[in-house]
Structures are given as structure tokens and as C-alpha cells.
Structure 1
Amino acid sequence: MSLVSCSLLVLLVAASSLAQDYDLAEFRCPEVNGFFPDPEQCDKYYECVNDIPETKFCPDGLLFEASDPNSELCDYPFNVNCGAREFVQEPEPGLDPKCYRANGFFNHEEPNVCNKYYNCVHGYPHAYECPPPLVFDEAQGTCVREEQASSFAKKCDPVTEKEEIEGFSCPEGDTLGPNGQPLAHPSFPHPTSCRKYLICYFSKDLNEQGCPETQVFDHRINKCVVSEEGPDDCKCWYDCGSNSQCPDSCNTDCSCPSK
């Protein structure tokens, strides 16, 4: 559990008793009508109608945004400045272990996983992954570069072993395109398949992709094309052609196996 979440949970014990001790009759509407924050609890507020207050609470995990008395807005903690309103209600019972609260963005449970997180909605966790090289920062509720992460973001050991597919791994440094500019997501021929190809997202994250049936990947133009228009070594990837002297055993470049 993150330091941010632990800090919130430490305050929960006092929050419950304070919410009970703070009698509604003690609250005085600042204006005749509007929505106004509780002075001590950040997810508690009052709706005043004709100078009569009604106690309300934000959904579990959300906090009351008090900047506009004409607006009834509960938002995520990273969007709300609670000021001196340091207490919150207790979490809903029976939540999924991945959700500290029924609503919110929370760290992955694995200690050395910094690029994955959960968006909990009504207590159900939805898993997400940051695109490399970004990491998740729970205090900001989004994916950021490591140098932009807050002090509350998890710190993970760098991955030293490069991912491989069929012996291929993303090359070090930038891959330049035809105009001499670095490519954000360079593509490469597959080591063993004319139909498949490899993409290095952000030049680091290796992924395998495939062309539609009857097409091959042309690494010269980074597109899927029919085999007849593809690279010479892939022209007979699907069949040897009607003029082949070895129609059942030709190589992918249409040549016949040497005897």
C-alpha cells in the first residue's frame, strides 16, 4: 500500500468519531443556498436550502471540491485541495483487495511493478498499463516520466534483461527513419516469418504484430502488402506459383531447395 493511502487510513479512525461528534445543529450555512464543506472532513459537505443544512458525503474515495458554492462536485484527491479538512470517512466494507477505496486510481500490488495500476470504480478494479517509459504516480493519478514523479510514487528497480522474440531484441538508441529523424515506434522484419513483424514502442517495448492473410510485411516501406509486391525473400511465402519447378517444396524466395 502506498504512503499516500497509508496516510489516509491513519486518519480514518479519528474521522468516524468526529463525524458523530460534530452535530449538524452546530453547522451554520454561510449563505442561504449552496454547497459548503465540512470544516474538518474533506469528503463531507452540506447542502443549504433556505438556510437549512443537509449533511452529505462524497462516494467513497472522492473528496468535496469546495471552490464554488454553487457546484456540488466530488472529485479525485489529486484534484482537490482539502486545506485543513484532513479527515475522511472509513472505506466501504468488502472492497476488492486491489482497491483501497471504492473509487480512485491505485498502485499495482506487486512491489517492483511501477508501470501498472488500477482504476477502481464502485469497488471494482480495472487494470491499466502505462506506455513505456512512463510510470504510474498515485499522488497525481496518472502516468508520468520518472523525473516528473512525486515523492509518493513507487520506486522500482530497472529491468536489466531485454525482452526477446525469436532472438530479436530492440536495438539500443534511436532508429532513424527515411528522413533521418528518430522513429518513435520503429518496425522490424520478423526473424522467422514473412507475415509477422516486430514493433519497438518508444524504442524499448517489444511487440509482435501480424499482417492479414495473403499479405507479407515489407520492411522497406513498413507496410503489409500482397506477397507478389513484397521483399524478394518473401514472394513465395504462401505458395510457390504456377510456374515453379518445385511447387510443393520451394523456398520463400521461390527458389528450389538444393539437392
Structure 2
Amino acid sequence: MTNVRHWASFVAFLVCIGLSSCAQVEDPCKTKSRVVGDDKYCDKYWECDNGQSIQYDCPNGLVFAGKHRGVTEGCDYPWRSNYCEYPKVQINPPIGTEHCDWLYGIFGHETSCTRYWTCWNGTATEQLCIGGLLYNENAHSCDWPENVDGCQKHPLCNDDPNGNVPLGKSCNRYWQCQGGYPRLQRCPAMLVFDRRSLRCVVPPTEDCDVPTTTPAPPEEEDERPVQQQKRPANEYSEAQPGRQRPRN
């Protein structure tokens, strides 16, 4: 294995001699971090290995951010900072899988404004925005509906942009739509939400008796998809990818 690595280092060194661009790259072996970004391509970087400068690729969809930075291997999402500003470009083409434009990234859902996909090594995980928020493709995060182009009205408020909507089987909580944007509300003490009149009334109703302080039944939580917790974009420590093959 050691001989193979030394041979790869030697080949990369010979290739670098023949490329005029290599002379423009800072020698990582002369830096404290021993890792530097490529001068032209933001998804490549150079690392000092046994005294030789070897070029590596960031995982597909990520760009070089610096040693000990980013989500993995010193690489991060392109939109996080100025890691990939002009004239630098991403040279490696996207590798797409189901729901993922790149192997790594955060992408909007194909049919829902309240959902999105987090992709890690080509595996897509469906995520849900909470509290009446919608996925903002430009910010790559959940945002207020008024800031999301193309999804101005939340699905919960399709029937009445200024009406009330039941929340699962809850007896004292409900959604209040304000201009098409839902806001979670709670009935005043000792009142319950009536599903027929869509307002808080004195109990009992057909579905609710006098309110209690007991926890909501499990099925109520199952019917509240927009209230599920959004997973932070950087929670991927359980699936660290291996280093990409050196590019000679």
C-alpha cells in the first residue's frame, strides 16, 4: 500500500510539472495547515503527502472550505460562504441519484412546499419544515411563506386563506390562517375547538369534553406533519464519506 501511495505521489508530481497552473497553486508543504485550495476549481484542493503536493476532489456537490471546516473533509456546501466565487468554478459534473441533483446537498421537494431532501453520499432523506414554514430554495432552509416564491399560500390554508383549521384531534389547539399563512393557536382556558363552527366554544362538543391537561394522544402527533422537527443540515456525522481518489 505504501508503494502504491508513493507511486501515485510521483505520478502527480510529474503531471504537475507539465501543467502551468500548478505553479500558481500555493505549495501546501510550505503552509502550516499543509492543505490549500486549488486556484481555479473550488471543488479541488491540494494536500502535502510525504513531501509532495497531491490534488484531491471534494465529495460531489461540495467545495473546499479549509482544513477542519465544512461538513466533511474540509469541504462544505457552495452557498455557505464565498468558497466558490468568480472566477473559481466547480469543475466536476453533478452525479445525480433519486431526489438528489448532487451526491451531497439540500434540495427542494418535487411536489411539496413544506418538505425538502437532504442528500448524503447520494442517499436522500425527506425533511419537514415546522411551524407553518416553507422550504426556500434560494436559502436552502425553511422560511416564512412570504419569502418563498412560487409557494405563497401554505397548503393548510388552501380552502380559506383567513380561516381556522383543526389540528389533528386536538381539543384546544388549531391553525389560524392569516392571508394564507398558518399560525398555531390555543383556545382560551376551559374552551375547546369546535370542528363544525371552526372556533373556540364552551364544551362539550361532538368531539371534545371539558379540556384536560393530559398529553395529546399519539395519533394527534401523527396528523401534524408540519410540526415535526426539522433536522439541522449539519447533522451527518454518522455517515462520513471516504476520501475521494486523487486526481493526477
Distance in 2, Cα, partners of 1:176 & 1:217: 13
1:156 maps to 151
SS in 2 for 1:143: strand
Deviation at 1:56, TM superposition (A): 0.6
CA distance 1:76–1:67, change in 2 (3 Å): same
Q: Verify the 8 A CA contact 2:42 2:63 in the aligned structure 1.
A: yes
Larger radius of gyration: 1
**SS, match of residue 78 in structure 1:** helix
Distance 2:80 2:113 in 1: 22
State the secondary structure of the residue aligned to 2:124: strand
For residue 126 of structure 2, what is the aligned residue in structure 1?
Answer: 127
TM-score normalised according to structure 2 size: 0.52
Is the CA contact (8 Å cut-off) linking 2:134 and 2:143 kept in structure 1? yes
1:223 aligns to what SS in structure 2?
A: coil
Tell me the matched-pair count. Answer: 167
Give, in angstroms, the shift of residue 118 of structure 1. Answer: 0.5
Question: CA separation of 1:175/1:64 partners in 2, compared to 1, >3 Å: closer, same or farther?
Answer: same
Unaligned stretches of 5+ residues in structure 1: 1-20, 180-185, 192-215, 226-259
Q: CA deviation at 1:157?
A: 4.1
Partners of 1:187 and 1:31 in 2: CA distance: 70
Q: 1:52 — aligned with what?
A: 52
The alignment-based identity, stated in percent, is: 23
Q: Are residues 144 and 170 of structure 1, via their aligned partners in 2, closer, same or farther at CA, if it must alter by over 3 Å?
A: closer
**Displacement, 1:76?**
1.7
In the other structure, the counterpart of 2:11 is none
The structure-2 alpha-carbon separation of the partners of 1:105 and 1:171, relative to structure 1 and needing over 3 Å to count, comes to closer
Letter in 2 for 1:91: P
State the Cα RMSD in Å.
4.2
Q: 1:36 to 1:86 in 2, by over 3 A?
A: same
Structure 2 SS opposite 1:100: coil
Mark the CA change 1:72 to 1:128 in structure 2 (over 3 Å): closer, same or farther. Answer: closer
User: Partner of 1:146 in structure 2?
Assistant: 145
Q: Deviations over 1:47-96 (max 9, x none)?
A: 12466311011111111103879x95111223232233233410126x22
For 1:79, the equivalent position in structure 2 comes to: 80
How far does residue 219 in structure 1 lie from its aligned partner after superposition? 4.4
CA deviation after TM superposition for structure 1 residue 137, in Å: 2.1
What's the CA shift string for 1:117-155, capped at 9, x where partnerless?
Answer: 1111111211111113211123333212235x4xxx542
Matches within 5 A, 1:1-259: 25-26=22-23, 27-29=25-27, 32-33=30-31, 34-49=34-49, 52-66=52-66, 72-82=73-83, 83-84=85-86, 85-92=88-95, 95-96=97-98, 98-110=99-111, 113-147=112-146, 149=147, 154-158=149-153, 159-161=157-159, 170=175, 174-178=185-189, 188=193, 219-223=210-214
